[in-house]
Amino acid sequence: MHVTARERVLLMALLDHDSGLTLKELAQAASVSVRTIQRDLPTLERTASGFQLTLKKGHVLSLEGHKEAKETLRSNCQEKSILI
């Protein structure tokens, strides 16, 4: 599955903020609207699950899972080579 540059930005923002981010904060990080973030959520969930991570949704969004899985995702985002 191809992951866009925006999705990599969103994943890195979530990885950088363990306590999570609001939709508005994610939108600001990617310079897009909140609605665009909402449309991206299913893809972000699929990508996260490919790394044995869960996108937790609520007041804030966060990635949950093992530290090693997060580091693998971070490395893949930095290399721009996300394959799930």
What pLDDT shows up at residue 4?
Answer: 87
| pLDDT for residue 78 | 84
Mean pLDDT per 10-residue run, the chain (84 residues)?
85 96 97 96 94 95 97 87 55
- Which CATH code, of 1.10.10.10, 3.40.50.10540, 1.10.3720.10, 3.30.1330.20, is assigned to 5-79? 1.10.10.10
Q: Where are the alpha helices (DSSP H) in the chain?
A: 5-16, 23-30, 34-50, 67-79
Distances (CA, A) of 84 to 26, 51, 52, 81: 23, 8, 10, 10
pLDDT of residue 83: 52
Q: What is the pLDDT of residue 52?
A: 96
Domain limits, the chain: 5-79
